[in-house]
Amino acid sequence: MRFLTANPSYLQVTPLALVILLFLLFPVATIVIVSFWDYNAYQLLPDFIFENYEFLLTSSVTLSAYLKTFFFAITSWLITLTLGFTVAYYLAFYIRSPLLQSVLFVLCTVPFLTSNIIRMISWIPLLGRNGLVNSTLQEINLIDAPIEWLLYSDFAVILAFVHLYTLFMVVPIFNSMMRIDRNLIEASIDAGASAFQTIFQVVVPLCKSGIAIGSIFVVTLVMGDFITVSLMSGGLSASVGVLIRNEISLLQYPAAAAGAVVLLITVLIMLSIMFRFINIKKEL
């Protein structure tokens, strides 16, 4: 008791610690344990085997799924970063009236009022073989035959990711841009820097934390996704998430758990690399 009164911070941290213990550490520990179990068509068999990992780490399917997932993650990250930065920059530096700024910012979030599945599905009639895009292009005689790769392709998957996740870039970058002292920009221009030099040598370094937070959002969301990939690729591509989901639906929980553990480790490594570049704690 005296210990607690001497260090009230322990008491303060207890609720959060309990929540994390119950809702994060306990489930993750369960997944790790189950990943060593055995299974057959309809049952989990408590055991301690490495077969799940052995198969996972030696299978060519895992490799190709990871390559595909990295491809999706990196491409979506690059595009959402470019778009997000541009939009945030425009909002922060070009719009002068704070009211208009808020209105436009809210406007950015409007698509998020509907579920992300609906936002995804609504692309399908647009991009299909006889969809709006193809029929319009054909009507104005730009193309003779419908473009096939618009739907059920990697293009469609990345389009959906960009559509879904750009806002996650806009918000934190906009937030850090708003905190940049405008005098610094002025000083930079007075010192003779061009607009581009100002952006890359003043604005970007000062937005690092926003960029990092946005990147964490986008990369982790894409790495763990399965529904966008299976819907927009028409089931033709498989990301790591899709493989895990397939295994879950076939009652192969231990194999799925092993897949989840490996994915978790991969994403943690990626995050630790990101944190190497940017010390978020310091920047915030």
Partner 1 sequence: MSFDDKKDLKDNLSASTEPKEERSGLSRRGFIKAAGVAGGAALGSGAITGFPMIWAQNIKDITLRQFGTGVSNLNAISQKAKEDLGINLELTALDSDAVAQRVVTQPRSFDIADIEYWICKKTFPAGTMQPMDTSRLKNFDKISQLFITGKLNDDSEIAQGTAPHTVGFVEGKESVQFASEPTNWMTLIPTIYNADTLGIRPDLVGRPITNWRDIMDPAFKGKTSILNIPSIGIMDAAMICESMGEIQYANKGNMTREEIDATIEILKAAKSEGQFRAFWKSFDESVNLMSSGEVVIQSMWSPAVAAVRAKGIECKYQPLEEGYRAWGGGIGLAKHLSGLELDAAYEYIDWYLSGWVGAYLNRQGYYSAAPSTSKEHMSADEWGYWIEGKPAQGDILSPDGKVMETAGAVRDGGSYWDRMGAVACWNSVMDENKYMVRKWNEFIAS
The piece of 89-97, 109-117, 122-130, 260-268 that touches partner 1 (CB under 8 A) is 122-130
Q: Helix H segments across 90-239? A: 98-109, 116-121, 123-127, 132-139, 154-178, 182-190, 195-198, 204-206, 208-224, 227-232
Shortest Cβ 146–partner 1 spacing (Å) = 10
How many residues form the binding site for partner 1 (CB under 8 A)? 36
Identity of the residue, 120 or 177, whose beta carbon is nearer to partner 1 in the bound complex: 120
Which residue in 130, 141, 183, 272 binds partner 1 (CB under 8 A)? 130
Nearest-approach distance from CB 136 to partner 1, in angstroms: 16
The one segment of 5-13, 34-42, 184-192, 276-284 that binds partner 1 by CB under 8 A: 34-42
Supply the DSSP symbol for 40. Answer: -
CB contact at 8 A, 280 and 213: yes
Site for partner 1 in 196-235 (CB under 8 A): 230, 233-235
Give the pairing type, strands 38-39 and 44-45. antiparallel
Of 111 and 128, nearer to partner 1 (C-beta) is 128
Task: Check residue 235 and report its DSSP letter.
Answer: T
Shortest reach from residue 46's CB to partner 1, in Å: 15
Nearer to partner 1, 40 or 141 (CB): 40
Which among 98-106, 123-131, 181-189, 269-277 is the span making contact with partner 1, rule CB under 8 A? Answer: 123-131
> Which listed residue (81, 95, 251, 270) binds partner 1 by CB under 8 A?
251
Query: Could you tell me which stretch among 78-86, 165-173, 179-187, 247-255 binds partner 1 (CB under 8 A)?
Result: 247-255
Binding of partner 1 at residue 133 (CB under 8 A)? no
If residue 44 lies in a helix (H) or strand (E), which one and from where to where?
strand 44-45
Residue partners of 190: CB distance under 8 A and separation at least 6: none
* Six token digits for residue 42: 């309809």
Angle between helices 98-109 and 154-178 (to 10 degrees): 150
Is residue 98 within 8 Å of residue 122, measured between CB atoms?
Answer: no
DSSP letter at 192? Answer: T
Q: Interface residues for partner 1 in 142-171 (CB under 8 A)? A: 148, 151-152
Q: What are the distances in angstroms from CA 119 to CA 96, 140, 149, 171, 224?
A: 31, 27, 19, 19, 18
Exactly one of 78, 114, 129, 191 binds partner 1 (CB under 8 A); that residue is 129
Contact between 255 and 39 (Cβ < 8 Å): yes
Q: Fill in the per-residue mask, 46 to 85: x = in contact with partner 1 (CB under 8 A), - = not in contact.
A: ---------x---xxx--xx--x-----------------
CB of 70 to partner 1, least distance (A): 14
- Which C-beta is closer to partner 1: that of 16 or that of 118? 118
The answer to whether 266 and 241 are in contact (CB under 8 A) is: no
Residue 215 and residue 266 in contact, taking contact as beta carbons nearer than 8 Å: no
90 lies in the site for partner 1, by CB under 8 A: no
Binding-site ranges for partner 1 (CB under 8 A):
40-43, 55, 59-61, 64-65, 68, 124-125, 128-131, 148, 151-152, 230, 233-238, 242-243, 246-252
